[in-house]
A and B are shown apart, each in its own frame.
Chain A
Amino acid sequence: MMATAGKIRHITPAPEPTPRRIEPVAGVPLIFELSCDGRRGADGPPRPDGVARGADILGRELCREDLAGFPELSEPQVLRHFLRLSQLNFAQALQFYPLGSCTMKYNPVLNEEMAALPGFAGLHPAAPEHLAQGALVLMERMEATLAEITGMDAVSLAPAAGAQGELAGLLMIRAFHRKRKELRHKVIIPDTAHGTNPASCTLAGFQVVVAKSNKRGFLEAAEIRRLASNDVAAMMVTNPNTLGIFEPEIREIADALHETGALLYLDGANMNALLGVAKPGATGADIVQLNLHKTFSTPHGGGGPGAGPIGVKRRLEPFLPMPRLMRTADGLRFDTDRADSIGRLRSYHGNFGMLVRAYAYVLALGGDGLAEASRLAILGANYVRKRLEEKFPSATSEPSMHECVLTHDLEKRAGVSTLEIAKRLLDFGIHPPTIYFPLVVAGALMIEPTETESREILDSFVAALEKIYDEALDDPELVKGAPYSTVVSRVDEAEAARHPILRWQPKEQ
């Protein structure tokens, strides 16, 4: 169950933001600073009299000294501390959180209950497979569902997140070429790509070749044809791309790659635009990863956990990571003996807890609801884009899919930066969009409203941005000083990097 705390930030159309800093709030002490010798927040396990202590059984030479500095608090003190911390956060459940590329949609509360069912939460990963058939059936259904949605032939649920899905896909590409006795060293990546794409390439041993998108913000097949060669193993494309545009030449790009023996990897982080609209498989993709923590509503958790399943076309199936789910006469089991597999990405079978949540989501929406979700997500992005077009014009003239990338002239006109606009939005109780990404758009504001936000919310966001625009012209210092209403004022990130303090240490006596 998810609960929300008392500190609800009301969002109204263009509220009166706090002009200057409200009175300083005392920060929450660190848990270590609340500690008091001799307290504890969990009772020890029952220990019969006369049992030799563990430390004596092992012998002192194997054991550590006391855990100096470790916290000592009662249970209610620990709860209060973390509840207070929770109240310092913005969150999707509390307010509009239109972070582009992150798909901050509603995370259904039922899904948490489903993942916590004792038959799932208490299931040991090494339990005999015949006692885990319910979990395995859920995984099998999830594989089939994702295959249907993406138009791919086989799916692995093993990767822990999108970036691990990318790594798996790229290692498969490597293995695929190697099997055909081909050495290919390069992967083409567009200039709009997410940072994990080039980072995953390096990890998989490939050199990155950057493809330029055209003035309109998409890739031209001619450019890919120019870059393709028998040293190119694959291209990674995000579709819709990070400008929120459906790549119109994706099929020709796939053909150009395939003609030279290269593969097309599709970064499916933006799948929320494509449900029932277009299947990556039909666009020519050989491999696609999905971020269940985006399109499939599993909570982002302040940075995970998520899950990054990958779907592939038949010819790549032998290379899928371990373990593979397999149906036999005696039911489902894991196949751990596959000669061409790229191997393991992690221990055991994947982030099963996230798969349960995603499956609950898919059941709730169904094929019809998923298709509706994408269309409403696209409507929201286009609505925001249209309503803001005067003050924050779109970076592209192409139609938007589920997100829009906007620009502004406030830097020139008032010396106010995108970062400062983002910080000012916090005073309106709104989490800012993704900023300065994609890198090809100077000062970008990347807005992804998602299908679960209402028109009133979108209107209030539009009103807030318009108001900030006017403020920037009238009183730029006001915007530059933001935020004023958050628990801390502008945080000095440069100082944090100059003098890294990365842990608490007891004060010298």
Chain B
Amino acid sequence: MSVGSAPSGPGQVVPMPLAGGTQARAGKRLRHHVVTLLVENKAGVLVRVAGLFARRGFNIFSLAVAPTHDPRFSRISIVVDVESAPLQQVVDQLDKLVNVVRITELHPLNAREAELLLVTVAADAVGRAQVIQLAEVFGAKVVDVGAQALTLRLASAPEAVDDFEEVLRPYGILELQRTGRIALPKLGPEA
């Protein structure tokens, strides 16, 4: 689309080719983008954002919210399934929300992404050593130990979190929680 007058800057999406690679394996996340919203830190803002997605029929794949270093603002990181909606339309509609101050859209190739995982894995006397070894390989921490199970924590790139989940699966995942990804732009040479 050539939107001649659309000035680049906040709310303007520069379309970029989508990555295959590691995403392809995850299947469900084949075409995702991370949309990061700087929003006013006011009551009800999350509802407005989530409600807009619901109303317009866009899918949220995951979502993370937290205050920024400036207490007036929060940052919402949303993984958008770009199959469900044209990204530009999602961004343009979000930009109309009065409490949304700035929108950055990050293609996975240009982003440093991270996600946090907590997982409780069955680990009897036999499996325990193997699970701990795997945790070390992935840089995960053991945060709780039970007679028949371990709880592990991993903060890493989402693909690594996916992989970690896969390798633990055969041992028996008893409970698992992921936070949804957060992202910042990659630093260029001039940064």
Do A and B come from the same complex? no
